[in-house]
Every structure is written in structure tokens, then in C-alpha cells.
DNA sequence: TTGAAAGCGCTAACAT
DNA sequence: ATGTTAGCGCTTTCAA
């Protein structure tokens, strides 16, 4: 690799001048500047950011840890972050925790070695502990919250879940099942709470027997839905609210397998929109989340934090006794949107003794 | 951040000894080693990889550029690469070209500053030129090939397309349409060629009027399919072979919009399996590709290359006149697999004057 | 077995 | 406006 020394030599200047010509052009005589730029072009010079970062004490690098890059929601969120980081002149390094606190810990350690100036994270259930290994490093939590005093960028899960539930009660459903996510992840509990509150507001009793837990995977949704939909006809829910996109796929497959027509026999509302939700048949009614914007907002906020605190994070100066107290960490929240498609309808008028025959998958 | 100096100080040794105790433990007296390790633990020391890389001249870093992280095929491939890189003790930095040669160029430049030891890339159509800006850096091309003399890891697109086409001719189809991808991307041309060859082998004439180009996006598939399926009934294809996963979504939506039943009125085969293909109704017959394994294989190969050439890429020594000639770049190829589901069936027995009425989306 | 010292490539004082 | 020099944190000779 060509070094700045090579450029300097070819342009007949010192490395200092070469460096200046490249990064503070106006500090250098026009003619010299041209020589250096030409030399750099000719040699295909690209500065070694490692050396630069080491010298400047800032890497212009961010860490990004998502829980599951194969989930389109997280992929889109990651894209929002990376695009935004680039706009601000940062690079965002992407890691995957696969929803596993152990892997998250390893990712954070690896990341720490890279000296990022800040970290964006979709925290796993173990993030509380893991994040304490990063003292002095600005962290923004995305989508969920770990309980640590970090800024968070989330969507209004409570409101989204309420809107979904209200939609179902509004159609006349009174036996509504829910497939909830892991109870140690905030999005899951918030959606569960929203579900209960909306039921209460509609005067529909909350029946714990109609609520099944899952771990966010398609298969969990499948099993939970199969379970709920196999109840005797008089107890079986006429509508299902599913807590995330993956589990919704499973729930739809379960309904299909049982020969239940959507929405005639069963209404389904999913949380988080997706290509699949739009193109399955019938298209799915969902609570959509602005995934890309979530990433953009989180990254903008983090960069803002870095800019304000002035580049070099000085963990060595814990808290200057004087000066204004640090402001409380921001809690940014984006709205969700209920998109009514064709998977929801009023409940069947009469209780059918058995599911109607249909083509079993 | 705590430096190795802090560790050394706490353990009462020189930084040299501290460094050795951490990375070459057996070179240090047991007792000293313990002191250092304990000090490191206590301080939560994490080496600054920037400084280490700068000193050692190797970063243990790889670059990975995919064309579209939102496409599950690329996401899975990226995961295969990243998991494998980690297993080998490397970190893979992920970038997105969004299928845009300009963006690819910027990604490569940014990457180059990070001093990666090798690059894995799903090349865009402009990659030939772009890759020439990386002299002396090992590159492995993934999924497609740019024409540069780099090792490539691809799937057998020709065979996959032939299997798909043979499946359709075997069912009795003689008017088979194809939606092909960009003709400057090798996967697209290979699949096109496989289609033609299989038609020929089956004695079915190739009709250019039934072939429509697209640019890999859902919308392209939609338009191309709408076009083909709007032909007069006697000319309209009874089966469609679609060149990638995104365009297949569009094609299915087009068929649905025209009220064509799958597979009764129209058979569809897609290239590349996906969650969507498995869970749409009817489940889609596809040529599946081992995306994750593709990433694994490519990364294994790249790391093997690095290990053999011994770490430090010396672009300064172009070609030692003596010694064995460099072996030709490897061309690794993985098989595809035709998965027959329920979107394919024999063609309608009689030519219907018009598409049967159905529920329009 | 350990320590002293040099140097990776770059930039920012400081000096001219 | 330009050059000289020191030093970011680390590893690795070389010497003891």
C-alpha cells in the first residue's frame, strides 16, 4: 500500500505538507496543493485510517449490533443506520447477536477493540449486564430497551398493540388470542400490555387461556397458534393478534393446516409489516413499524451526542463537579401504523361445530 | 480506555512482558503471567486492535460487499461469511452496494482505508473496473463473476435453470415464459442459457417473444409477467420461469391480479428459495441455492489463500521470476436443487378464451 | 525470563 | 507556507 510518504516524495514536499494538502487544502499554497493532489491521484493513495485513528484518538467508527440480520425488520433497521452513518462520515460495523446474550457479549468485546466512538444496539435480554462492560462509551438502544440509562429509540408498541386490538374488538370479536414474545424483552411486554388495555377499554374480558408465549421464531408462532386454534370450537379464538413478524408466519401456517379460512373463520393481525405480509393471500392486516427511520433516527441521535460532547470521550474525567448536570437520556419514540388489509373480518356468525374442510397443506 | 501500559504498571512489569503474557503466555514465567492476566482482568483490558494492526501490518479484517442486504439471499450469504470469518479469528466488515457500481466503488475505497487483508464481493456490473483499484489484495467473488482473474464461488446456475425448465417441459408445457435478470450479470445470463439449452434438449422451440428482461426487483418481475400474461390466450405462456427471488414475488402478484390460478392456469418456478416461497399459497416450486454455504465456502477459501501466502500481502514484489507459477484462480461451484412444491402442474388441457374470473387483488 | 527501544502511518504542535 | 519532530498503543527485535 502506498503511504503518505510516497505521495510526499513524489510531490517533493514533507509528509506534513502532504497531509495538510489532503485534509486542510486551504492551509497550503495552491501550487503545492496541486502537486500533492496529483501525486496522490497518480499513486492511488488512500489514507490508512488505522494510523489516522490512532493518532487522532477518534476512529469515526460506530458499532451496530442487531439481534437477527435475517429478520427483514433488523436488516432494514441496519440499513437505516449504515446509510445515516455514512452521511455523517462514519462507518458502522455490523454484528449479529442472534438473540443470544453470550454472542452479544462477544460482539461487544470485539467491537471494543475496534475503538468505536459509539454503539447502537438492539439489546438482547442479557444486555443490561453486557453493556456495563463499556464504561464511558455512548450507547443508543434501538427497538427495545435494556433498562440501562441509555438513550433509546423505539416505536410506540403500546399504542400499536392497542390499535390492533381495538380493530378486532371493533369488528365484533370477543375471543381474541394473542401470541406474545419473550417476556424479558420490552417490545413483547409492551405489546401484551397494549392488548390487555384495549380489551379492557372495549369491555372484553381478558382471558389468560387465550395467550401463548413464544420466542419470536416462526416455529413458536406455529406451535402457539396450533395450540390455541385446537381448542374446542366454543372456546377457540375467532381472532389472533401475533406479537412479531416471524411468529405471524407460523400462525398463518397453523391456521392453514387446520383448514381455517382467513378471514372467514379466523382474523389475524400481525405486528411489523413485511413483504411476506403484503404478498401472502389474503394480504395481512398489520401494525407496521418504521424500521428504516428507526435506524436513521438512532444514528442521527448518536452522532449528535458525539458531536456535542466533542469527539474524544474522556472516561478519565468522570463528572466535573461544576457545570450543568448531564441531561437525562433521551427516549425517542416513533409511531406505528395499523394497516388494515384482508386478513381481518367480523367473526363467524355462528359457532361451527368443526373447521370447514379445505385443502390441507 | 485502559492501555497495556496500565496493565503493565499494575502488574509491575514492562509493557513488553505484559504484551507477551497476553499473546504468547508460554514465553513468560508462570508467576509473572498470572500477575499480568489478573491485572488485565481487573482493569477490563481489551487490546486496541488499531495499534496492534498498525504494528503487525495485518488487521485480521476482511471486507464483504453484498449487492442488497435486504434480499434474504444476500443476508444469509453475509451471515455465512461473518460466522466463518469469526471462526477463523477474522472480522468481516459488511458493506452494501445496492447493485450500484458507484456505491460499490465508494465501498471499496472506504474499505481500502481499513486495510482489510482480503475482500469478498458480490460484484455489480461495474465491478470489473472497480476491482482494479485494489492491486495486490486477495479478492473472492461470490454468487456472480466479474471477469477479473479472481477466485469465484458460485452455484451451478446453468444446471439449476435446466432442471427448472426440464421440470416444466416434463409436465407438458410448450409455451414457457422467462423473466431474466440484467444481462450484464452472470447469474442472469447463465440461467437464461440453461433455459434455452433445456428447451432445445426437450425439442421445444425457443421463442424470444416469451422472454422479458428485468433488473432483479420485484417491480421488474411484476411488469414483465403482466406483459407476458396479457398476451392473447393462444400465445400466452402456460408456465413461467423467473430468474430470481424478488422478481418471482412480482410475477406471482401479476398472475394474481390477472385472476390466473396457480398452478391450474399458470405454473411458476422461481430461482432461489425463500421463506416467502415456502409459505405463499400455493407453495412455490423453486431452484434452491445454498446461500449460507456459499458464504462459508468463500470465506474459508479466502482465509486459506491468506494463510498460504503468509499474512503480509507484498504488492511490492510483483512476481518472483523463479518459483512455480501462481496457480489459476479457483472456480468453486455448489449445486442447486430443484424443489417441487405446488406451483407447477401440467398445462390447462384446453386453451381458455379468457382468464377465469377470480377475486382481483 | 525480562526490559529498553524502535517503529507501524499518520497528524498536530512547534519552529522556521 | 512549509518542515521537523513527537507520539497515538502496540509488538518485536535486540540486549542483558
CATH of the domain at A36: 1.10.260
Number of structural domains found in chain B: 3
Q: What is the mean pLDDT of residues B187-206?
A: 98
Q: Are residues A109 and A139 in the same domain?
A: yes
What DSSP letter does each residue of A140-158 carry, written as one string? Answer: EEESS--SSS--EEEE-HH
Q: Are residues A282 and A304 in the same domain?
A: no
- HSE-CB for A93 with a 13 A CA cutoff: 26
Q: Are residues A285 and A299 in the same domain?
A: no
Q: What is the mean pLDDT of residues B96-119?
A: 95
Give distance CA A25 / C1' C8 (Å). 26
Find the distance separating the first CA and the last CA of chain A, reported in whole Å.
58
Give distance CA B14 / C1' C4 (Å). 9
Q: Is residue B256 part of a domain?
A: yes
Long-range contacts of B227-233 (CB under 8 A, 24+ apart): B228/B177, B228/B179, B229/B177, B229/B254, B229/B255, B229/B258, B229/B260, B229/B266, B230/B258, B233/B351, B233/B352, B233/B353, B233/B354
Strand D reaches within 7 A of the B22 CB? yes
Strand C reaches within 7 A of the A56 CB? yes
Give distance CA A323 / C1' C14 (Å). 33
Distance from CA of B9 to the nearest CA of A (A): 17
Within A 233-292, residues with CB less than 7 Å from strand D: none
Can you tell me the distance from the alpha carbon of B161 to that of B235, in angstroms, rounded to the nearest whole number? 23
CATH number of the domain that residue B272 is part of: 3.40.50.2300
Return the pLDDT at A315: 39
Strand D reaches within 7 A of the B51 CB? yes
- In sequence order, what are the beta bridge partners of B269? B241, B285
- Residues from chain A contacting residue B76 (CB–CB below 8 Å): 70
CB A215 within 8 A of CB A100: no
Average pLDDT over chain B, rounded to an integer: 92
Grid coordinates belonging to A353: 361445530
* Closest CA-bearing residue to C1' of C8: B55
Q: Are residues A16 and A138 in the same domain?
A: no
Give distance CA B8 / C1' C4 (Å). 14
Strand C reaches within 7 A of the B54 CB? yes
Indicate yes or no: CB of A280 within 8 angstroms of CB of B281: yes
Which among A51, A110, A281 is the nearest to B281, CB-wise? A281
Return the pLDDT at B86: 95
pLDDT of residue B208 exceeding 80, the answer is yes
Instruction: Indicate the pairing of strand B91-96 with strand B211-213.
Output: unpaired
Strand D reaches within 7 A of the B15 CB? yes
Band (pLDDT 50/70/90 cuts) for residue B134 is: confident
Distance from CA of B79 to the nearest CA of A (A): 8
Strand D reaches within 7 A of the B20 CB? yes
Grid coordinates belonging to A24: 486542510
Which of A289, A317, A336 delimits the end of a domain? Answer: A289
Can you tell me the distance from the alpha carbon of B320 to that of B327, in angstroms, rounded to the nearest whole number? 14
Return the pLDDT at B87: 96
Neighbours of B276 (CB within 10 A): 22
- Residues from chain A contacting residue B283 (CB–CB below 8 Å): 361
| DSSP code for B327 | P
Indicate yes or no: CB of A82 within 8 angstroms of CB of B91: no
Indicate yes or no: CB of B280 within 8 angstroms of CB of A283: no
Q: Computed from CA positions of residues A314, A153, A94, B102, in that sequence, does the dihedral angle turn out positive or negative?
A: negative
User: Cα–Cα–Cα angle for B166, B167, B169, nearest 5°?
Assistant: 60
Q: Are residues B169 and B237 in the same domain?
A: yes
pLDDT of residue B8 exceeding 80, the answer is yes
Can you tell me the distance from the alpha carbon of A338 to that of A166, in angstroms, rounded to the nearest whole number? 10
Q: Is residue A314 part of a domain?
A: no
Q: Which among B40, B42, B68, B69 is the top mutation candidate for probing chain A, defined by the most A β-carbons within 10 Å of its own β-carbon?
A: B69
- Residues from chain A contacting residue B252 (CB–CB below 8 Å): 279
pLDDT in tens, chain A (361 residues): 899 999 999 999 999 999 999 999 999 999 999 999 999 999 999 999 999 999 999 999 999 999 999 999 999 999 999 999 999 999 999 999 999 999 999 999 999 999 999 999 999 999 999 999 888 899 999 999 999 999 999 999 999 999 999 999 999 999 999 999 999 999 999 999 999 999 999 999 999 999 999 999 999 999 999 999 999 999 999 999 999 999 999 999 999 999 999 999 999 999 999 989 999 999 999 999 999 999 999 999 999 999 987 544 433 334 444 556 777 899 999 999 999 999 999 999 854 445 555 554 3
Q: Is residue A175 part of a domain?
A: yes
Strand D reaches within 7 A of the B56 CB? yes
Q: Are residues A240 and A182 in the same domain?
A: yes
Q: What is the CA radius of gyration of chain B?
A: 26
Q: Is residue B17 part of a domain?
A: yes
Distances (CA, A) of B127 to A158, B82, B123, B148: 46, 22, 5, 9
Give distance CA A201 / C1' D4 (Å). 76
Cis peptide bond N-terminal to B39, omega within 30: no
Q: Are residues A262 and A298 in the same domain?
A: no
Which nucleotides of strand C lie within 7 A of protein CB? 1-5, 7-13
Give distance CA A3 / C1' C7 (Å). 15
Q: Are residues A215 and A255 in the same domain?
A: yes
Return the pLDDT at B321: 47
Indicate yes or no: CB of A70 within 8 angstroms of CB of B79: yes
Domain ranges, residue A23: 4-47
Of A271, A272, A273, A296, nearest in space to A64 by CA: A296
Q: Are residues A208 and A279 in the same domain?
A: yes
Can you tell me the distance from the alpha carbon of B62 to that of B85, in angstroms, rounded to the nearest whole number? 8
Indicate yes or no: CB of B53 within 8 angstroms of CB of A50: yes
Return the pLDDT at A203: 97
Nearest CA in chain A to B249: A279
Return the pLDDT at B161: 98
Q: Is residue A319 part of a domain?
A: no
Q: Is residue A327 part of a domain?
A: no
Q: Is residue B201 part of a domain?
A: yes
Q: Are residues B87 and B42 in the same domain?
A: no
Q: pLDDT > 70: what percent of chain B?
A: 93
Q: Are residues B126 and B165 in the same domain?
A: no
Closest nt to residue B23, judged CA to C1': D11
Q: DSSP H helical segments within chain A, as ranges?
A: 4-11, 15-23, 30-43, 49-56, 72-87, 101-113, 127-131, 157-170, 186-202, 218-229, 245-257, 275-279, 291-309
pLDDT of residue B352 exceeding 80, the answer is no
List of residues 6+ apart from B326 with CB closer than 8 A: B319
Q: Which residue shows C-alpha cell 472516561?
A: A315
Q: Are residues B65 and B174 in the same domain?
A: no
pLDDT of residue B318 exceeding 70, the answer is no
Strand (E) or helix (H) holding B21: helix B15-23
- Residues from chain A contacting residue B49 (CB–CB below 8 Å): 113-115
- Residues from chain B contacting residue A76 (CB–CB below 8 Å): 70
Q: Is residue B350 part of a domain?
A: no
Comparing B257 with B308, the larger pLDDT belongs to B257
Return the pLDDT at B1: 82
pLDDT of residue B277 exceeding 60, the answer is yes
pLDDT in tens, A57-89: 999 999 999 999 999 999 999 999 999 999 999
Indicate yes or no: CB of A283 within 8 angstroms of CB of B109: no
Which among B46, B82, B133 is the nearest to A96, CB-wise? B82
Return the pLDDT at A321: 47
Amino acid at each position: 500500500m502506498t503511504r503518505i510518504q510516497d505521495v510526499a516524495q513524489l510531490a517533493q514536499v514533507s509528509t506534513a505538507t502532504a497531509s495538510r494538502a489532503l485534509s486542510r487544502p486551504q492551509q497550503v499554497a495552491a501550487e503545492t496543493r496541486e502537486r500533492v493532489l496529483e501525486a496522490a491521484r497518480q499513486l492511488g493513495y488512500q489514507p490508512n485510517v488505522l494510523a489516522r485513528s490512532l493518532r487522532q484518538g477518534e476512529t469515526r467508527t460506530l458499532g451496530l449490533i442487531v439481534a437477527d440480520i435475517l429478520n427483514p425488520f433488523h436488516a432494514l433497521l441496519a440499513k437505516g443506520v449504515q446509510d445515516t452513518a455514512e452521511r455523517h462520515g462514519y462507518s458502522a460495523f455490523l454484528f449479529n447477536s442472534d438473540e443470544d446474550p453470550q454472542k452479544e457479549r462477544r460482539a461487544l468485546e470485539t467491537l471494543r477493540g475496534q475503538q468505536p466512538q459509539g454503539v447502537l444496539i438492539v439489546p438482547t435480554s442479557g444486555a443490561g449486564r453486557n453493556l456495563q462492560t463499556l464504561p464511558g462509551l455512548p450507547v443508543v438502544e434501538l427497538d427495545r430497551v435494556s433498562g440501562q440509562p441509555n438513550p433509546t429509540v423505539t416505536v410506540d408498541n403500546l399504542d400499536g398493540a392497542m390499535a390492533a386490538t381495538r380493530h378486532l374488538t371493533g369488528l365484533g370479536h370477543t375471543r381474541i388470542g394473542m401470541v406474545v414474545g419473550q417476556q424479558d424483552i420490552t417490545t413483547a411486554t409492551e405489546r401484551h400490555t397494549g392488548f390487555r388495555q384495549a380489551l379492557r377499554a372495549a369491555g372484553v374480558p381478558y382471558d389468560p387461556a387465550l395467550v401463548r408465549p413464544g420466542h419470536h421464531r416462526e416455529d413458536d408462532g406455529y406451535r402457539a397458534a396450533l395450540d390455541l386454534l385446537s381448542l374446542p370450537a366454543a372456546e377457540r379464538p375467532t381472532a389472533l393478534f401475533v406479537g412479531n413478524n416471524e411468529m405471524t408466519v407460523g400462525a398463518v401456517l397453523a391456521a392453514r393446516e387446520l383448514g381455517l379460512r382467513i378471514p372467514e373463520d379466523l382474523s389475524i393481525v400481525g405486528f411489523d409489516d413485511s413483504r411476506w405480509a403484503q404478498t401472502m393471500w389474503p394480504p395481512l392486516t398489520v401494525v407496521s413499524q418504521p424500521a428504516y427511520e428507526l435506524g436513521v433516527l438512532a444514528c442521527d441521535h448518536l452522532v449528535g451526542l458525539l458531536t456535542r460532547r466533542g469527539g474524544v470521550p474522556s472516561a478519565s474525567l468522570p463528572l466535573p463537579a461544576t457545570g450543568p448536570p448531564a441531561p437525562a437520556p433521551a427516549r425517542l419514540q416513533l409511531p406505528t401504523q395499523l394497516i388494515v388489509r384482508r386478513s381481518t373480518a367480523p367473526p363467524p356468525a355462528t359457532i361451527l361445530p368443526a373447521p370447514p374442510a379445505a385443502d390441507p397443506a
